[in-house]
Chains A and B, each alone.
Chain A
Amino acid sequence: DAGVTQSPTHLIKTRGQQVTLRCSPKSGHDTVSWYQQALGQGPQFIFQYYEEEERQRGNFPDRFSGHQFPNYSSELNVNALLLGDSALYLCASSLWGTGDSYGYTFGSGTRLTVV
């Protein structure tokens, strides 16, 4: 049973560029959440997608956007990259309405470095 798959695993981008990160949820899950984990910090919630719509959003600027596809996979897009966007980006999947009971399954993350 495949868990959460994220790609790529590592990425180096230049300031001002745009980046797209991808996530395939665990089989049977229909909800995808994205988190940013800066070095030495806990993960911070970016946004959550269900039924191809953004359902909740954390305190992140509009430069961060996302998409969910009919097969429940998701993309995270970041425009106009800043040095401060360097972080580990984690994707978490769940079944809508059950995150509190069953928790969220996390992928291994994409390490983004902005130079």
Chain B
Amino acid sequence: AQSVTQLGSHVSVSEGALVLLRCNYSSSVPPYLFWYVQYPNQGLQLLLKYTTGATLVKGINGFEAEFKKSETSFHLTKPSAHMSDAAEYFCAVTRSGNTPLVFGKGTRLSVIA
């Protein structure tokens, strides 16, 4: 079975500071990994995804993530936080085209002015 662990249910950073949201996964087969963002009272928006190939993945809004197989990690980073980045972030894993996504519990990002 696949699973996702997101370390830290709440992360708070200052505007302009580095954002680092941690995600570790468990999978017996090569994983496909995703980061989604959820703004209050909204659905999920895809930030970025790792399928195959380059392990450093760039997404929307300046976010990027690096797939590290040896560490079973897929941490999300952004060099400089913006107030508009405040939201809930979810890491998810799947293993094939039709297998459902398995989500972590989410990390709430707060950005302090």
Interface residues of A (CB under 8 A from B): 4, 6, 31, 33, 35, 40-45, 48, 50, 55-56, 58, 90, 92, 96-101, 103-109, 111
Contacts and interface: CB of A to CB of B under 8 A. Distances in A.
A103 B106 CA distance: 18
Interface of B: 4, 32, 34, 36, 41-46, 49, 51, 90, 92, 94-106
Nearest to B33: A100
A108 B106 contact: no
A4 B43 contact: yes
Contacts of A92: 44, 101
B90 A99 contact: no
A44 B92 CA distance: 11
A42 B94 contact: no
30 contacts: A6-B43, A40-B105, A41-B105, A41-B106, A42-B103, A42-B104, A42-B106, A43-B101, A44-B103, A45-B102, A48-B98, A48-B100, A50-B98, A58-B100, A90-B43, A92-B101, A97-B97, A99-B94, A99-B97, A99-B98, A100-B95, A100-B97, A101-B97, A103-B34, A103-B49, A104-B46, A106-B43, A106-B45, A108-B43, A111-B41
